Amino acid sequence: MAGTSPAMTKASLMSDKSPSQTPGERVAKVIARAGLASRREAESWIAAGRVSVNGAVISSPALNVTPSDRIAVDDTPLRAHERTRLFLYHKPRGLVTTHSDPEGRDTIFRALPKGLPRLISIGRLDINTEGLLLLTNDGGLARILELPATGWLRRYRVRALGRVRQEALDRLRGGIKIQGIHYGPIEATLDREQGANVWLTFGIREGKNREVRKVLETLGLKVNRLIRAAFGPFELGDLDDGAVKEVETPEMRAKLGDQIIADAGVDFEAPLFVEERKAPPRHSRAKLETRETESKSRPSVKSGPRSGARGRDDKKKFRRRDRTGGPRPKYPKPRE
């Protein structure tokens, strides 16, 4: 094949074979498992010409790769495969669930503590919803847990303006159709009345866009606070705002179950990825030492209100107030 590079030849030959004839895994699945994106996003990157295999840009996700193949995204080599990890995150209100926002709003990934691996969210919470969000470095696991067919219950604590009777909530168990969109069975319980508001426990299994708010609007209720308390077997508990907690491997095995582990291709045997800190070049280190010497020789100057206040301002940024007064509500366990 004159004029064709060996790398391009290999990629072309692999793409001509069916998945059953070619060893390895689909390239989009490998990218997703590396935690860079979901499998669907990886496929869009391939279509855009951002992915190469063994030096050759590919245009179709119908390509199997093996550990010996060299995969790069935007000319950056894919890092070594890492053990599947799962994190519980208490998302504050006011953050969007995305890596970048075209409107310039704050995102959860910019607010996460330092030192975490590259993570993707399992589903989303809108900007005004707070509570439990699952994060993982495994795109295959994220895809499986997002599917409505998985059937995991998402449980919310809801404060809404208005009044409703339990009988009206019970009718939601058969599902409801709103503006041509069908919402599946809903488990809703009236917990208490508080001033002009009611507190509800709301359980859904599909998680369609703004589902809780839209369903309650049909009952004459206006949601003014929405907290996700649980996603399947994982619960928010007493996790503080903005805090992250890793789920240990034995707990993951027990709560995910054998079927999900098999379907998602979860890997508990791969090593943990540790990002090595590279020492700065010699000239950079010399400049740094010079700056440190100069700063020590200069008298310290306080910057007025900015000095020592930044941390407090950052805390105020996501501080929430319960406008109904009284202590913040707990997250009670669902009624049996």
**Using one digit for the tens of pLDDT, what is the confidence trace for 321-335?**
454 444 455 555 555
- Asked which of 195, 210, 228 is the last residue of a domain, the reply is 228
User: Mean per-residue pLDDT for 220-242?
Assistant: 96
Q: Considering the domain boundaries, does residue 294 fall inside one?
A: no
- Integer Cα distance of 202 and 239 in angstroms: 20
Other Cβ atoms less than 10 A from the Cβ of 257: the count is: 12
Q: Return the higher-pLDDT residue of 319 and 63.
A: 63
pLDDT band at 129 (very low <50, low <70, confident <90, very high): very high
Select from 237, 249, 277 the least CA-distant residue to 89: 237
**Taking 70 as the threshold, does the pLDDT of residue 274 lie above it?**
no
Among 33-42, 108-117, 203-212, the least confident range: 33-42
- Asked which of 15, 44, 77 is the last residue of a domain, the reply is 77
- Integer Cα distance of 115 and 106 in angstroms: 19
Residues 53 and 173 in one domain: no
Residues 25 and 167 in one domain: no
**Taking 80 as the threshold, does the pLDDT of residue 122 lie above it?**
yes
Q: What is the pLDDT of residues 26-63, one digit of tens each?
A: 898 888 777 677 778 889 999 999 999 999 999 999 99
Residue 55 lies in domain? 6-77
**Taking 50 as the threshold, does the pLDDT of residue 159 lie above it?**
yes
Q: Where in the sequence numbering do the catalytic residues fall? A: 126
Q: Considering the domain boundaries, does residue 334 fall inside one?
A: no
Residues 44 and 144 in one domain: no
Q: Considering the domain boundaries, does residue 131 fall inside one?
A: yes
pTM for this predicted structure: 0.68
Residues 10 and 64 in one domain: yes
- Integer Cα distance of 7 and 13 in angstroms: 10
Q: Considering the domain boundaries, does residue 178 fall inside one?
A: yes
User: Mean per-residue pLDDT for 248-275?
Assistant: 87
- Integer Cα distance of 190 and 226 in angstroms: 15
**Taking 50 as the threshold, does the pLDDT of residue 309 lie above it?**
no
**Taking 60 as the threshold, does the pLDDT of residue 336 lie above it?**
no
Residues 86 and 143 in one domain: yes
Among 177-181, 206-210, 302-306, the least confident range: 302-306
